[in-house]
Amino acid sequence: MEERRAICISAAGRMASDELEISRWICEVVSDALAEEEISCNILELKKFELLPCMGCGRCSDIRRCSRDKDFNRIYEEILGAEYLFWVSPRYAPIPAKLCMLLEKMQQTTILHFQRDKTYQSELHGKLAGIISYGEGGSAGERNHKLMVNDTIARTLLDLQLKVVPYNSKWDTGIFFQKYDWKKGEEEIRKYVEVTVQTSKSLYAIL
């Protein structure tokens, strides 16, 4: 039986803050929950990569990789080899810069082909994506995180032809973790991982 693989991408980038601790904890909860489903998970912290901004050269249209960014290509190969993708991000303006660069370059490898051929399927077509934002809670805090983080990431992933897994009718683009609410947060993260895995099983049943 082929090993099922997942990637959990941490977008936290502020070195002197508690964000790294929270993001790492979320990723570890995701990884542990996946292990119970016999799915291996590799945690990638974007702060450890020297991603370069897109220059709009268009060469990715031919090679489907970035012609000058080795770190992006390393991450992208990891993503292509995974069945499940989890994205963990705090709210900046609206999301961290390295995550913006990663998503932009992923989109460029697809959009240029799609503009020429509307039937084009990306290399990421059909992969499942879970999105977990985190920060200050309260109704306003949750609403802002959904609009600025979850929905922003989800729109790009949908353009890339991934399937973004909803948590419930309210949170149709992932979930939100309220800082330091460890017990409730772990329960919801584990449940979201379970929902994602069950979604995969349902898709395979249809196929």
pLDDT 10s digits, 149-179: 999 999 999 999 999 999 999 999 999 999 9
Q: Pick left, alpha or beta for residue 75 (phi over 0 → left; psi -120 to 50 → alpha; otherwise beta).
A: alpha
The per-residue pLDDT for range 85-94, each reduced to its tens digit, is 999 999 998 9
Number of domains in the chain: 1
Q: Around Cβ 93, how many Cβ atoms within 10 Å?
A: 8
Distance set, CA 92 to CA 89, 146, 152, 203 (Å): 9, 13, 12, 34
Under 8 Å between Cβ of 128 and 165: yes
Tell me how far apart the alpha carbons of residues 36 and 199 are, in angstroms, rounded to a whole number: 16
Please name the residues in contact with 105: beta carbons below 8 A apart, sequence gap of 6 or more.
Answer: 54, 60, 66, 69, 72, 76
Kindly state the percentage of the chain with pLDDT values over 70: 96
Does residue 204 register a pLDDT over 50? no
Give the model's pLDDT for residue 42.
97
pLDDT (mean) for 35-60? 94
Q: What's the residue count for the chain?
A: 207
Give the model's pLDDT for residue 13.
84
Amino acid identity for residue 110 in this structure: T
Under 8 Å between Cβ of 27 and 88: yes
Least confident interval from 38-47, 57-66, 68-77, 142-151: 57-66
Does residue 116 register a pLDDT over 90? no
Give the model's pLDDT for residue 19.
79
CATH value at residue 76: 3.40.50.360
| H-only helix segments in the chain | 19-36, 60-63, 70-80, 97-116, 138-145, 151-159, 182-206
Structure tokens at 151: 């929905």
Structural domain harbouring 55: 4-206
